[in-house]
Every structure is written in C-alpha cells, then in structure tokens.
Structure 1
C-alpha cells in the first residue's frame, strides 16, 4: 500500500512555512495552484540566468556541464530534449492563448537539428533505393572496425518513391539526435571547426560499447590530415570524407505527439491558422519516421541470413525501432546509404504518435503512410501486451537480426511476428531494460493514448502495470519519496499468438529505489492521467489519483530551488572517468577537436581533456581520490519539463481552459483542486481558532483515510475531496500560524 510516515509528515509540516508557486485569491489568502506552479517553473526555465538555454535559444541537456549519461557534456542536447521543449511551449501557448512561443521553438528545432539539403551532399543523386544500404556486421566491441561487405545486398527501399512523390525531394527530413551546442568538442558544422550547435554522433560500435567506451565524433568529416573517425567503426575506401546523420525515434515521436496537442488546443482557441504550417512539419517528420518501422538493412522479417534480400514491403515490422540513419560522401562519389535499426525496445513505442497520424487531421502526404501508422499503432499495442510480465512490468523487446548479424535464434526463443525476444536490445552495460525510467517512457505514451481513445487494450496493459507500481511508491513527506529504480528480469515471454497469456515464466523484481525526479514526475503524470482516463472511460481509480497527486505535491513542495527542481545524487559511476579505457584499436591514431591524442590505451579523461577545465572538476577528482562518488544537484531539462507537464496535465483536467474571453470582460481565474477561496483559518482541525502543531498532529492521525473509514475526521478533509491527503497538508502548511 501507498504509505506516508506520520512522524515525518508532522516534521515536514512544521518546516513548510514557505510554499512555492502560490497565488492570492479574492480572499487575499495564498492558494497553491497547479497552474501557478507550472507558470512559475516555466518562467524559471526561460529565465536567462537559470542557464537552460544557449544564446541561440536551444535547450541544453542541463545547465550543469559536468554530466555524463546520454551526453558527455551538459551543454550538448538530444532530440528528446528538443521534444520536451516543444511540448513545454505548446502547453504554455495554450495557457496564454498566444502560440508564438511554440512557433519559435519549432523554428529553432528546424534551423539547428534538421539537416538542410546543403548538409546532405550527394544523397539525392547517389542513393539507390534498390540497394538501400552498405552492410557491415555488428559484433563485440573488440571486433571493430568491421569490414564493409559489398557482396551483401541490402533490401529494396519501399518508401523512397512515395516520399519523393509527396515532397519532391530525395534528401531526408529527420531530426539529428545529438548537438554539441557550445561546440565543446571543437568540430563545428560542415568541418569548419568553430560554428556552434554542431551535429555530432557517437561511435556506436555494437551493444557492448558503454557510454564510457565511446567517442563523440563529428557528423561531417572533411579532414585531410587524419583518418575519418568513422574508420573506428568500419573499414572501407569508398567513404574517404563521410557525413552521416542519425535520428532518435523517441524524440521524433514525442515531437509528433506534442504537435497533436498543439493542433488540438489551438483549434479549441480558434487559432489553428497560426500554427498549421508547423503542424505540417511534424506530420512530414512522421512520414519519414516510417524508416524506423523497417529492418535495419531492409531484409525480410524472420530473416536468418545476411544473403536474403527483401522486396521492401516484407521488411516492415511496424514497430518503432530506435531510429534510422543516412549518409554519403562530402565529395560525392556515387555512394550513399540509408538504414534502420536492429534495436526494437518497448520504451520507444508511442501509440499516441501513431494515433495522431491516423485518426486526426494530421494525415501524412505519402500515399501509404496513414495505413502504415495504423498498422504500427495496433502492432505496438500487441507488442506491449506480449512483453508484459506476470507482475505487470514491461520486458525489453525483440530483434529481426539475432546476434545483430541475422543468425538463427535459439530454438526456444519466443517469437513476435517471427522476430525473436531480446532481453536487452542495444546495450549490455547496464542492461537496456533495467531502469524504471524505461518503463515510464512507454507507459507515459500509452496512458495518453488511453485517455484520448479509451482503447480497452491500452487499459488492460495499464491496469496491470499500475497495480504493480502502486505498492512500490513511498512518500514519507514533503520532498521525501522513493520510487522503483533498478529492475531485475528473469525468464521470457510466451510466443505471441494474438492473446496475452499472463506470461507466467517472465518475472520482474524491483531491486532498488531512488528519488530520481524525472522518473517520479513522469510516474505521477502516468498515475494521474490513468486515474482521469478511468474516470472518463471506465471505473475511477481513486487510489491511482491519490498516489499520483501526493507524489507530485511532494516534489513541488520539497524539491524546488531558485532555478527549478532538483535533489542530491551521488555519482559513483564517475570513477570510470579515470579508470575506463575508451576502445581504440592498436595502430589507429588521431587527434580530437580538443587536441587529445587518441590512441590505444586512452582512458576516458584522456579523450576529453576539456573536462579538466570544468567548474566541477575539483569535486570529481577529489571525490575519486577519496574513494567516494561526487555529489551533484542536477537540473536536467527533461526532468524540469516532466514536472511541468505533470502540473499542466493535472491543471487542465481539473480546471480545463476555455476559449479566451473578449477583452472587455474580466478573464476567469482558474485554481487547482484546492478550494477557490481558502479562508485564513482553513486547517484549524480542532476549531481552537489557530492553525498550529495541534492541527498537524490531528491531521497526521487520519492521513490517507477516506470518508467512511474508521478514524476519518471531516475537519481534516479540508478541501472536501473525500480523502485526507497532501492537498490538505498543503492548506495547513499555507495557513500555519494564522488565527481567526
């Protein structure tokens, strides 16, 4: 059961003198408001002094620069961060009735993250859809660089003709997944070495390459005095000066999802014409994103040999892989390539994006696109059903290329539409499905789809998942909570036959808990949206609402600082900065943009000497020497946006926005789920005329009780919602010390 420590509740209340994001209502008294909390956070994120944005207006991964995870420097960014940016601006535009912020955000994304035609030289003329890609085998890290094998024929591209017919171009329209905003690596764009917001890639040498063993390399390699960095990945003479771009499907689908909401909300406000051209960009993005529904080398699904070539259509698995990539030579020489991904993971599935591109007016221009996305929507739902464990957690994924080289899977491998179960798609260290955050990513998309459609398939998956989560959320007071962190997996799913079996041999065990803000905010939004969905489509899950709202309130009231929300985290893994060797094969030598001598035996820090100039270097180095992990208080952009969207989602459900009133009438004021007018003595549970610790003690005794339960006191249900919870705690905290 969801629990809160009553002792800590009392202590927390006694400290809660200053409440963030308060407004003053008609009574002249402070009122905690989800809307105000959203606007307060939005203003902090956008404030230049907070450091979330570059001078160009591009959101950083984090204001803090020493951070190593999806990026190796905080002032880089990812397409997922850009998706968060667009969603944040869509929500703010809806609240204000002014869509200029959303439009400006889209302009920034297109300007800096979508490669222009001039950045794709040779592709239009040299790409052959009948020979979709060049092939080299994936393998263990020490097997790289791999030899390109021109004798292996990739399949036919089934989308190229339709896309050209629809858009009149052979170049691609996709969001590059990684930007070095401050040009920290010193590569610049198109080889100039100095331009900002430069496009970079990771070496990506198979699933065994960890974040500590990879290099960041330029997307455009025009070097004349050293070998291309791509020669760490593959051996060939046909790409002397290569360029390459890579998309991330999770970022792209969330951009499409944000466009769906922007389109919906602008329509409510009769402002669709303001943003139609921007919605069209998202739809176009979805047209090209179908490349993530194809096998990596466009080989037929169920393939178990590199020598089998597909007709193109047979290469569709209709799930969302990790993305697609494409490239050619800076000096065109008749060679270009395009490929999908072997990595098909549950966390990348987004039926909400598929719904947006099939069931609304956001229909793609390509003739077969809507049908492809409809198939994808259904296939994604089946996929999540197939992967749901006996406990309710969602297992990892599948592959069409066993061993990443089209080998024959073991005979007992469970199958999903002829693809084999993969217990850790894309990464081994750590396992790609060991993080609770990966659970939240897919469930956040699914719950929004359920809210919009009422699809019973989504409801069934979510119900089992939510029931698994509920007992594992622990809120001990303001700012004190624990949610699942690491998950251990055992067994495998049954073969998919079209019906969920309960997967009695597939099990998930939570082995650790954390206070990760991004996961917590996402979880609160999932639980709240699920409760709203059940109220709309089924039987209201009040417990999910209660847990979600109290988790969110705990974050808002206990984790705020001057630029957003944060908590302390200890990074024991940063010892690998000093200890881990970045794999560079013997005999390969070069120089990085930062001037590092790259050769066999380099440690992580040797490949990124600029880290020694970071303001947090002393903290990291001294902690390493002391044998402890350094402590940080990060403000990841994605975490701030997840908190903001949890606040926003709760606000619009409880107090939905109407079309702005004419200027000659007063604009309505909307508040949170708390009373619109909290009197100065609200929270005086014992009616002695003052709100003090005596009231705190009384409220703590009946915390979590609902009407009808033994011990429930109506005076403690201050907002009259039928349960004594964090909403009532907030009121007592706001009025602490007040008298009648």
Structure 2
C-alpha cells in the first residue's frame, strides 16, 4: 500500500484527540440522507436539488444527472471510511446500474466497429477497442452512464429502464436528452423515440429518413468521478466487502476509454478538413484525454443498426488523474480489456501534460483543446497552429461556453491534481498544484466574522504558453468553497504547507459557522435569470411542431415556460410570476445534491488527513 495512503489511515490507530470534523461529516451526512430533506426520490435517486424551482445544468430541480450519482458514490465511500460500513457505497453503485446505465440498447449486437457511425460529408474512422471490450465482458452494450434523468417522469415520456415511451403513467426515472440551443432555448426530448410524442416523426429533426431510434450521451467527468471514488473505497475498505462494486468500476473504466477518441474516429492531431483529415483504423484517433462527451445509440427496428462516437473537445475541468492512477495501479479496479491499462497509462501522462500546457502564468488553468476547429475540422489561424498541443488547437470555449468561466471547474480539477500528488509525490504534479494553490490562496479573503469570499468567474487572454487569467467576479459558492478546501487539504497533507492547511480549515469553518441550515449547507441566492422563463425556444428544423405527453405545444411561438406548464404548479411559483410581472428578483436557498455531498466529503477528508 502506498505510504501516503497509510498516512491517511493513521487516524484509525492513533488516539483520537479531536473529532470535530468527523462529527461535522456525520451531521452533514445524516441531513443529506434524511428523507425529510428531499434530496432523494422515493426510489432513492438523488435529485439535482432538494428544491424544485431550479433551472441550471438540468432544467428542473428534481431532474438529475450522472454528476449527482457520482457524488452519491463518493459520499458513501467516505462514509464507509469513517464508519466502516460500506454497504451504502455498494448500494450507491447499484443505483447507477439500476437507473443510469441504459438497458435499452437495441441492435447493439449489430454495431459495426469498421463503421461506427456515418456522418454526411465527413470521413469516419474505425473503432479500435470494440472487439477487446467484447472479448473481456461478453457484451455489445455500452457500460457508461447516460447523463440526464427525469426522475419523477414529469415530462411524461416514460423512458424507464428497458422501455420506450410508456407515457406519463410509467413509474420510475425516465431517460431524457436536453434539447439543442442554450439551456433556456432548449426543450427536453426522449432518449428513445418511437414517434408516440412530438411531431409526425417524433422528435427527429432531420429532413427525411426519420427512424424510430434511441440515443444516449455521457458526461465523462461524472463516470471518472465514480471510478475515483471506487479507487478510494478500495483503499479504505476490506476489499471483500466491496469487490463486486470494484469490478463494476473497472468495467466502467474500460468503456470510459471511448472518451479518448475523436468524435468521428478521425486522426487526432493536425486534423484539418472534413474529408481531407482521414479516419483511422487504429488508436491514432485517440487524444487520450477525458473529453466533453461520449455518445451512442441505434435504431429500434429488427435487424437495424447501432453507432458510437467519442468527442473532439477536451476541457481542463474534466481531467481526472486519480481515476487514471487507480485503473493502472489498483488490482481491484484494473480493467480487463487487453490494452486498457496501456491506454490509461498514456492518458495519465497526457493529462499531466495538458495541465502544464493550460496552466496560466498566475496558476489557474485555461480552457481546453479541440481536434475539430470550429466543430467542423476547419483550418485554424496560424497563431493557433503555432500554439498547438499534440496537434490539437487551444479552444477558448470548449463544450458549453456558459460553463467555462465558472470557478468551480478550477477547484474540481485541482482537487484531483492534489490527490494525485498526495498519492504519488509526483514532482510534476507538485509543481502544478503548488502554482495553483499559491494563486487561489491570494484570491481568497475572510471578513472579520470569518466568512469567505472566493472567485466566482474568470476569463483568459492569450495563447499558451503565455495565457493569463483574470478573476472577473468574486462571491460565495458552497461547492466551490468546499472543493477548494479539499484541494488545499490534500496539498497541505502532502507538502506540509501550513498556510494551505489553515485556509482549508478556515473555509470549512466558514461554511459550517455561517451557512448551516436544517437541510445542510446553503446560501440564499438571487435568480434574475428567471426572466428567461419567457424565452422563445430554438426549433432545430424550420416549421417543425410537436406536442408533449401533457399536451404542451412546441412550435415557433413556444417559450421555455409554455412547454413546461407544470412549473406553474410549483409551490414557489408565485414569486417567479411576481418577478415576471415586474416585481422583485426571486431569492431563496438552494441545496444542490452535489454541493451538499462535496461539503461532506471535504469535512470527512479533512478529518482523515489531520485527525482533527
């Protein structure tokens, strides 16, 4: 066992002098798991928020995403470390299998790795890992979480596990996709579409050749976080009590390699031209980074087809050195496919290089890289070519532009660098995380009462290696603060940096002393964005119209609210309506499941690291 991990366990055998942060962890954990706190559905699925009237990464508070499921696994792993009870950890992974890894994957046996998915006017390469995954697991189905779930089936599609559009009466979480356009322009669509709802051809927005089909998408950072949590559980638990769950984490790590590949399995690096940049027959289509997404799907008819794709966009905030390290080095979660460990070994090195490439002169990380300039394999300006990373182009707005300025991604990913440094004492990781830590400590302030202010939003200027970062807004965020505290805790434990430890402790104390509620840790937030309830929808196909299961009409006159008429039944809707009528901006407390879990994990880790 690694010396650093032995240090982490020393609290079990030392005389405990203080258990403040253990007790705080348990109090927070008990609040989260208390049914009256409303973090979980009747089926035990974690909601995005305990409150319903929330529109952000999901368009309704009681939808959920793979992020919440991964945090549930992480929360329960730390609970096991502190109490010795790992059954909740096992149950949390069972929930992933029960509700987030799709069972409806019709025609998956007809997937052709030599033609993983055609695209009009684009050369497409071959899938080089399908056969070894089939050999290792004897399945043609993808073992990855779909990212979005309508937990209470409020949209009424009824895409519950293994079924397609059973309708509003279906009991259980329903898979959905977020519509095209921005969050406020989009409208949810069913993952499996047999033309029961929507328009004549369901929710198909292509002209001609509409087919009854299904499609899923993954946010790979969540799957990587679940694997990261499983790795820590493998270090904290008696392996026999969690062995079946660790096997599942290893399998997910195997399939997570689809995140390494270009969207169309085209050459990774210097890929210019939809036709000119070639598809490959081998792993030359792999950039070996945790990209923005994985997609897969197929048709519903007999003897149909199925397809898979990776992603060309790689963001600093999604990288996970700990997941890579665990899949390589921990036998209990080592994937079985022939080249998986080799691939993750390359990925670990490539991720470190990406952090070095994207780290600004101040210490923060900047944006990401893409293998497909302008999302069309276009020819980038020369200055971007000169600043390329393995032939990939620096991208100011990888993925969703609205997410990129958010400071929380900085804390999330820096935490994983700090954990990796703690585990390995890797010198490159030390330099990366020290520079980041020095920067963030200089940006955090505490008032006379001990409450905190941290960066909220940032922006970048310039190209690597001369990229600079500017903090554009400061404020308070529960999850960003707790993730920053955990980052500083791991760095302090590994390096002996007393300032980092003090700031970590002060952040955790501020959260506890100033923001504790009956449900957990929270802030009262303003929601001026609710003017967008009247925002017109983006319709991907001209003159398309359709109908939701509840009768809400989707057409050129539709708004965000008009196709979500059930929002008007929300117990807090009156304050939104008052705002839309010219009244005050709505303000209320929000308890995001991921933030509540992040706080708990930070408290538990601080206790384990420092025995306080």
TM range (shorter): over 0.9
Find the aligned partners of 1:32 and 1:87 in 2 and give their Cα distance.
21
2:127 maps to 157
Superposition pairs for residues 460-539 of structure 1, below 5 Å?
Answer: 460-478=431-449, 480-494=451-465, 503=466, 506-534=467-495
Of the three residues 271, 274, 291, the one matched with 1:306 is 274
Q: Is the 8 A contact 1:394 1:439 kept in 2?
A: yes
Deviation at 1:382, TM superposition (A): 0.3
Deviation at 1:542, TM superposition (A): 1.0
Of the three residues 398, 417, 420, the one matched with 2:393 is 420
Find the aligned partners of 2:529 and 2:272 in 1 and give their Cα distance.
38
State the Cα RMSD in Å.
Answer: 1.7
1:261 maps to 232
SS at match of 2:216: strand
Superposition pairs for residues 498-647 of structure 1, below 5 Å?
Answer: 503=466, 506-534=467-495, 540-626=496-582, 628-647=584-603
SS at match of 2:157: coil
1:201 maps to 177
1:122 maps to 107
SS at match of 1:374: helix
Deviation at 1:587, TM superposition (A): 1.2
Find the aligned partners of 1:616 and 1:384 in 2 and give their Cα distance.
43
Q: Is the 8 A contact 1:42 1:644 kept in 2?
A: yes
Find the aligned partners of 1:218 and 1:457 in 2 and give their Cα distance.
45
Q: Is the 8 A contact 1:35 1:648 kept in 2?
A: yes
2:412 maps to 441
Find the aligned partners of 1:215 and 1:360 in 2 and give their Cα distance.
42
Bigger radius of gyration = 1
Flag the 1:102–1:478 CA change in 2: closer, same or farther, 3 A.
farther
SS at match of 2:359: coil
- Superposed CA offset, 1:143-163 (max 9, x none): xxxxxx2x5441100010110
SS at match of 1:513: strand
Q: Is the 8 A contact 2:196 2:202 kept in 1?
A: no
SS at match of 2:382: coil
Of the three residues 343, 358, 367, the one matched with 1:396 is 367
2:243 maps to 276
Find the aligned partners of 1:160 and 1:478 in 2 and give their Cα distance.
57
Of the three residues 601, 606, 611, the one matched with 1:650 is 606
Deviation at 1:581, TM superposition (A): 3.6
Flag the 1:611–1:162 CA change in 2: closer, same or farther, 3 A.
same
Q: Is the 8 A contact 1:202 1:214 kept in 2?
A: yes
Q: Is the 8 A contact 1:477 1:554 kept in 2?
A: no
1:10 maps to none
Flag the 1:252–1:478 CA change in 2: closer, same or farther, 3 A.
farther
Flag the 1:457–1:175 CA change in 2: closer, same or farther, 3 A.
same
2:35 maps to 48
Q: Which runs of 4+ in 1 moved over 6 A?
A: none
SS at match of 1:415: coil
- Superposed CA offset, 1:85-115 (max 9, x none): 0011111122221221111111111111111
Deviation at 1:546, TM superposition (A): 0.9
Deviation at 1:445, TM superposition (A): 1.3
Normalising by structure 2, what TM-score? 0.93
Normalising by structure 1, what TM-score? 0.77
Deviation at 1:629, TM superposition (A): 2.5
Find the aligned partners of 2:407 and 2:83 in 1 and give their Cα distance.
34
Find the aligned partners of 1:298 and 1:229 in 2 and give their Cα distance.
29
Find the aligned partners of 1:247 and 1:546 in 2 and give their Cα distance.
37
Which ranges in structure 1 are unaligned for 5 or more consecutive residues? 1-25, 136-148, 495-502, 535-539, 656-671, 673-740
Find the aligned partners of 1:597 and 1:39 in 2 and give their Cα distance.
47
2:4 maps to none
- Superposed CA offset, 1:238-273 (max 9, x none): x5111011111110000000000111111xxxx211
Flag the 1:160–1:236 CA change in 2: closer, same or farther, 3 A.
farther
Q: Is the 8 A contact 2:422 2:494 kept in 1?
A: yes
Find the aligned partners of 2:547 and 2:261 in 1 and give their Cα distance.
36
Aligned length: 584
1:364 maps to 335
Which segment is superposed worse, 304-313 or 362-371?
304-313
Flag the 1:452–1:235 CA change in 2: closer, same or farther, 3 A.
farther
Find the aligned partners of 1:416 and 1:229 in 2 and give their Cα distance.
42
SS at match of 1:305: coil
Q: Is the 8 A contact 1:176 1:245 kept in 2?
A: yes
Which ranges in structure 2 are unaligned for 5 or more consecutive residues? 1-14
Find the aligned partners of 1:246 and 1:479 in 2 and give their Cα distance.
42
